[in-house]
Amino acid sequence: MFKSGFVAICGRPNVGKSTLMNGLIKHKIAIISPKAQTTRNKIQGVLTDEDAQIIFIDTPGIHKPHNKLSENMNKMAFSATRDVECIVFIVDGSEEFGVGDEYIVEKLKNAKVPVFLVINKIDKLKPGTVKDLEHHFKKLYNFKKIIPISALNLENTDTLVNEIKNVLPEGPRYYPDGFLSDHPEEFVMAELIREKILYFTHDEIPHSVAVEIEEIKKLKSGHLDVSAVIVVERKSQKGIIIGKGGAMIKKIGVAARKDMESLLGNKIYLTTFVKVEEDWRNNIHHLKEYGYNSKD
């Protein structure tokens, strides 16, 4: 009997949602950064084996909103928990349980599907801590199961996959074997560039950056010529991204291009430009233009 279904992964920012999904499907679909709120869209990754197909929906970290973009990110996250077969709620076991976690638990109490609690980063915990955490969470909600893991090391993730399979219904292969994500090339390319910006600029460019792929040309050689625009909110941020003598934007471009070539298996020529759109995160038109508008 072949099983299939959709699984939402939710939690606060920076708890390891994208790391888990990328690790489970053994491919980089969602971008990863040490900064919170890296994921801005619902990102779909597909895990297919002999007896099941699991479509994971990685969601933006649920947080206190500070602008229209933040509000839309939260809406995207909660809307992803509808019309799924189960929900995986991830917490960072190395951090104290806070009001953000409590808020999510209260929301999940309305869920009509099984909710698995995943305690991540057990590789950072002292012996005995996991049992204490499990005891604490059992008081809050009747989770289908509490599963401690290390998403980074893929420790105990097989247990999580098997538990998910147990609650999936009999169903078809929604996607063919080898299919990893439903996002188009443009989306993945833009996300990879944004990841490098977050990584190389540290705290100088927090979340005021968006990336838009303007054009992809297929050359006679079969290689791809890609033009991308990096959008920031202030002139000072533009200067930081370009860097002295263009050094920073070159570093970002080289790193992003390498990831693109690895992902797509093709030679890529990447050209990047930077433009300023003041306060774009509160502009509905720009949110739609850059793919961050939620109708839910």
pLDDT at residue 39, rounded to an integer: 52
pLDDT at residue 293, rounded to an integer: 55
- Please state whether beta strands 268-276 and 3-11 pair in parallel, antiparallel, or not at all (unpaired): unpaired
The series of mean pLDDT values per 10 residues for the chain, 296 residues long, is 92 86 81 54 82 87 57 61 87 85 86 93 87 88 94 94 96 87 79 87 73 90 93 90 94 93 88 88 72 55
Burial of 33 (0-12, 13-18, 19+ CB in 10 A): middle
Q: Where are the beta strands (DSSP E) in 138-262?
A: 145-148, 210-218, 224-232
Task: Tell me the CA distances in angstroms from 28 to 32, 107, 241, 263, one per residue in order.
Answer: 9, 29, 24, 8
pLDDT at residue 76, rounded to an integer: 62
pLDDT at residue 296, rounded to an integer: 47
pLDDT at residue 101, rounded to an integer: 85
